[in-house]
Structure 1
Amino acid sequence: MSCTPLQPHQSPGQSVNRGNKPAARLRRFLPAMWNAATHRLVQFQALLVPLMISVLLLAGCEGNSDADDSAEEEEITRIPVEITTLQRGDVFAVYTGTASLETDADALVIAKVSGEVMDLLVEEGDRVEEGEVLARLDGDRLRLEMQRSLANLSKLEQEYERNLKLFDRGLVSSGAFEDLKYELDALRAAYRIAELEYSYTEIRAPIAGVVSERHIRLGNNISVNEPAFRVTAMDPLIAYIHIPEREFRRLEAGQTARLTLDAIPGQSFPANVERISPVVDPETGTFKVTLEIPDPAGTLKPGMFGRFNIVWDRRSDVLLAPRAAILDDDVSQAVFVVIDGKAERRSIRTGYSQGEQVEIIDGLDGDEQVVVIGQSGLRDGASVEVVHRGAARVAQEDI
């Protein structure tokens, strides 16, 4: 009888085939399990790839959204401003004073002889020339007196001629001849007086100007030294300004000025310094400056109150900026300029000013664009949005 040897870990009585079943099953199921795991891994990878792509896309969208939000935030924080370009022009240093307009000549015309007013040739407001006849008086009596004086003079001149011949022949004494000569001179003077008196029956304008007053009427009998007219010289007018003594060295005769009046808004009139008093009033500490104002059109009237700007210095072709663009804190002055959408603060030094324009001495080159509206809330480096561009207008008066 043959015996089969036992396998390791095999109990007696167990057959060999029965002991190898689990291993056989394991060997049978391992490929299937591997295939299933591999399949699931492929499925997982198929799901994972789109998921990762979605995550990346989402991250990219979020990045773009952040960038858009940042750009939108920057857009919102940009400050709207208005800018203008600088200009070049002339600027003046002026002294400003006020005064009332006056006439340089004003004449009260009086009657030099008595008589009845026969003719009135002018009325108030009429312009007259020097020597022009304003009125005529009755001159019959004075004309007759002049004729009588002329007759007496003619008679004595004939007598003088006869006595001159006799004097040359020695037939008239020198004393008698001298008395005749003196009498002749007296009659000649009397005739000239009579002629002058008769000329006074024509009342004439002593100066050129405007008839500002008429005191007589047609048919009036007027007496000697009675006022008849007033003639006022209206061109040029004058004004007296009393200026503090500290300005004495700045002003001189011949300087130009401009006159503005509240009574005539929107207009200015040329004037010039006619003369300067060399004396300072010790009580007021001022000196008197006389200004002359030509007015050929007769627009101005005596008594009007005006403001004079006397030009004592002039600078030509200088850089000018609008007054509105300048930030002044009593310590320093500055403007904001716009460069590549950013505000840049520039410290400046100013000079003379004229109206709304201010001379820039230092701090700007002239090609900058300065902020004129919106600069009060700006800070250096702030983003700005230009909402309006303009060119500063330089108002030049013909001073």
Structure 2
Amino acid sequence: MRTKAIGILLASSFLLITACNNSEGNENQNNDQDSTLVVPVEAATVLKGDISAYYSNTATLEAEQEATVVAKVRGVIQEILVEEGHRVKAGQVLARIEGEQYRIEAERAKSTMDRLNNDYKRSKELYEKGAISVEEYDNKRFEYEAQRAAYELAKLNEEYTAIKSPIDGVISERFIKVGNMIGTDQDVFKVTDFDPLQAILYIPEHEMAKIDQGQPAELKADALPNQVFKGHVERISPIVDPTTGTFKVTVVIDEKNSKLKPGMFGRIKIVYDTHTATHMIPKVAVLSEDENQSVFVIKDSTAYRKIIKTGYVNGQNIEVIEGLEEGEIIVTTGQGSLKDSTKVNVVRS
């Protein structure tokens, strides 16, 4: 019986020792696997290029030149010669008012003027001969000159029955119809010159030192996605509005494009500084922690953490002022799972 108990004890001890050995072996195997873990990442190369800093804002496109054409005489619209969308030249006739009454008035004024002119000439001859007084001569001259002015006014009113465009442009609105009775100074057309188009920005005063006349600008219109139009800063107001703390900046769009229309909503970027031949990387590669910024640099399939100093951000890229050299490979995706000196496998670059 004693011999049997000793046998059971020895068997139990053997099983316990074997289990401990297996546990230690598994732990060592796991440690080996952890030390050789390879993390898949995406990467990019540090490049050199130009990067700009810009001020961005939104505005509605406007026509630099736009005129509301008004009637200069009263009358009935007899004829309309243009429609909305038609391109017109300065001085082109847009519509006509019935002008018979104005023609008759001009002829009557001319007839009276001719008669007074003859009287003036006769009085001049008599005055030179001393037959009439200076007062009589001056009265005839004044009557003639007053009637000449009346004739010129009547002739001008007759000419005003032809409604003309004051500028080159496109008919953007028509306010009249044939047969309408219109009065003096009534709106009849709106003419818009689409070249150039401009955007008016109201920029906070603390940005004034950055903005200068002639700086390049870019426009993106919501109605025309994926298209960028070039422009420049044309004018800068020298004063700051004390109620809003802003100053007025006029950006002119340089590119001629029939798709751009006044009234479109646009997003404007004014480029106020550019760094040339500077180091750039995708901004998604940068990790920010406290006040430090860093990236993971890949060398010999190992990722090493590097502290960097950044500059301008433009689109998807960010400028690196210190910490990286051209040609170095940095992690752009997967860096959140990395520690310093982690083995990596670049799956896409």
Does the alignment reach a TM-score above 0.5?
Answer: yes
Question: How is 1:1-399 mapped onto 2 (pairs within 5 angstroms)?
Answer: 77-294=37-254, 296-389=256-349
Measured against aligned partners, the alpha-carbon deviations of 1:223-254 in whole angstroms (never above 9, x if no partner) come to 33333222234333333322222112222333
Mapped to 2, the partners of 1:300 and 1:129 lie a distance apart of 21
CA 187–276 in structure 1, closer or farther in 2 if over 3 Å, else same: same
Which runs of no fewer than 5 residues in structure 2 stay unpaired?
1-28
**RMSD of aligned residue pairs (Cα, Å):** 2.6
Mapped to 2, the partners of 1:105 and 1:83 lie a distance apart of 51
Tell me if structure 2 keeps the 8 A contact 1:235–1:298: no
Tell me if structure 2 keeps the 8 A contact 1:85–1:370: yes
Mapped to 2, the partners of 1:87 and 1:74 lie a distance apart of 34
SS of residue in 1 equivalent to 2:226: strand
SS of residue in 2 equivalent to 1:353: strand
Tell me if structure 2 keeps the 8 A contact 1:81–1:386: yes
Counterpart residue identity of residue 207, structure 2: E
* Structure 1 residue 120, shift from structure 2 partner: 0.8
Deviates more, 1:215-224 or 1:321-330: 215-224
CA 284–198 in structure 1, closer or farther in 2 if over 3 Å, else same: same
Tell me if structure 1 keeps the 8 A contact 2:62–2:198: yes
Mapped to 2, the partners of 1:75 and 1:208 lie a distance apart of 77
- The residue that corresponds to 2:8 in the other structure is none
Measured against aligned partners, the alpha-carbon deviations of 1:75-123 in whole angstroms (never above 9, x if no partner) come to 9622222222222221111111122233444433222222232221111
Counterpart residue identity of residue 260, structure 2: L
Measured against aligned partners, the alpha-carbon deviations of 1:163-198 in whole angstroms (never above 9, x if no partner) come to 333333333332222222212211221121011100
Question: Quick check: which one's strand share is greater?
Answer: 2
Tell me if structure 2 keeps the 8 A contact 1:234–1:295: no
Q: Which has the larger radius of gyration?
A: 1
Mapped to 2, the partners of 1:297 and 1:285 lie a distance apart of 34
- The residue that corresponds to 2:10 in the other structure is none
* Structure 1 residue 205, shift from structure 2 partner: 1.7
* Structure 1 residue 294, shift from structure 2 partner: 4.6
Deviates more, 1:159-168 or 1:373-382: 159-168
Tell me if structure 2 keeps the 8 A contact 1:352–1:359: yes
TM-score norm. by structure 1 comes to: 0.73
Deviates more, 1:164-173 or 1:212-221: 164-173
* Structure 1 residue 388, shift from structure 2 partner: 2.7
- The residue that corresponds to 2:12 in the other structure is none
Tell me if structure 2 keeps the 8 A contact 1:237–1:295: no
* Structure 1 residue 309, shift from structure 2 partner: 1.1
Mapped to 1, the partners of 2:127 and 2:165 lie a distance apart of 49
Counterpart residue identity of residue 132, structure 1: Q
Counterpart residue identity of residue 171, structure 1: A
Tell me if structure 1 keeps the 8 A contact 2:52–2:313: yes
CA 82–280 in structure 1, closer or farther in 2 if over 3 Å, else same: same
- The residue that corresponds to 2:16 in the other structure is none
Measured against aligned partners, the alpha-carbon deviations of 1:125-181 in whole angstroms (never above 9, x if no partner) come to 222233221101111121122122223323333443343333333333322222222
* Structure 1 residue 277, shift from structure 2 partner: 2.9
Which runs of no fewer than 5 residues in structure 1 stay unpaired?
1-68, 390-399
Counterpart residue identity of residue 239, structure 2: V
* Structure 1 residue 290, shift from structure 2 partner: 2.9
Mapped to 2, the partners of 1:385 and 1:101 lie a distance apart of 50
Mapped to 2, the partners of 1:86 and 1:166 lie a distance apart of 101
Counterpart residue identity of residue 61, structure 2: L
CA 283–220 in structure 1, closer or farther in 2 if over 3 Å, else same: closer
Mapped to 2, the partners of 1:212 and 1:270 lie a distance apart of 25
SS of residue in 1 equivalent to 2:303: strand
TM-score norm. by structure 2 comes to: 0.82
Measured against aligned partners, the alpha-carbon deviations of 1:339-383 in whole angstroms (never above 9, x if no partner) come to 222222222111101100111111112121222222222222222
